[in-house]
Amino acid sequence: MSDTWLDLARDSRQAANVMVQHGRYRSAISRSYYAVYSRVTYELISSGVKMPASKEGPTHSKLPT
Give 1-35 pLDDT, tens digit per residue.
556 999 999 999 999 999 999 999 999 999 999 99
User: What was the pLDDT predicted at 64?
Assistant: 63
The DSSP secondary structure of 29-50, one letter per residue, reads: HHHHHHHHHHHHHHHHHHTTPP
Helix, strand, coil shares of the chain as percentages rounded to 5? 65, 0, 35
Tell me the pTM: 0.81
Amino acid sitting at position 32: S
